[in-house]
Structure 1
């Protein structure tokens, strides 16, 4: 799953990584991004077709759902295109959530040890996401997850769907709506580009937010 991540790239490096036209925005470094907060995401607007970096609420609830409806932070790749709750957003409102790494917890001798997972080369990660207008009229999103691969599999059975460079543009293409077409054009980042290390349990507390959170714990 993906329930906590870090995102601290500045806008120029983020735009360079995306390699697509992106309306300029401002970013605040965050080392402990938790659900139920505003997060940065790249999406294409329905009216102008322009790509922009916007603030989306990390919690997905469609505008037609009532107050008792769930607010998932993740959507599985196995069901996102067919679930009535998600399929409309999958077809029309896909987005990219930039991150530098994410956290998972590994059970070790009766306790849970947090690990930080990131790219070996330090480049930003692009999580596949979907967004929807919430009942309050503001945009909310969910991050897609898939079965864990490579080194991530040793920490947790699932991981965010991280897209490779060639998949970013088609993922954001509003003309692509069919599940099978998207499946053939969109691919995840090769798992051998990922690494991880144990970090401080301070990350367990969402109020903790500083660069030391991603440092390896000896």
Structure 2
């Protein structure tokens, strides 16, 4: 391996241990494996937002980030990729997660590939990644990968049959992140409504509409 990429993992879990951190660790491990398969090394730094919760509040009140928070934000700004995982409360990301985003430099994530993850007690919150987290990172001009990984309490049940579907989603999201990091083009799918699909690569919509 001739190249090493840096990945920062930010977990907004509040308890210890937390399912949010468990998901973050799975995503990081899979991303490292996916990069190794592509001949790229990786260094990973994991941050728990609850460890800097008071620093986040102080930064919001004073406009200055204490050293632990400043270190986290600097790592995020200089990372090749970010894995961000939040618990879902009241149908959206946690207040601590949003408060951290609010004290992060507005330019810190521009062009940065991001793998989003979320946890909740019920699958009913599974769409929160797409309607809450993804728009937030798009606003910051980050580049979230297509697959967001959601884990409900039932996903952590005992037995391989219970965990396997979650791991499949984890590996898919991590593969997309690895591709984005190394600059690989995503796999394209044919458009079932394109002229090429109907006409074998020749023709146009005018041909389709012709009598």
Bigger Cα Rg: 2
Structure in which a larger fraction of residues adopt strand: 1
TM-score after normalising by structure 1 = 0.24
TM score, norm. by length of structure 2 = 0.25
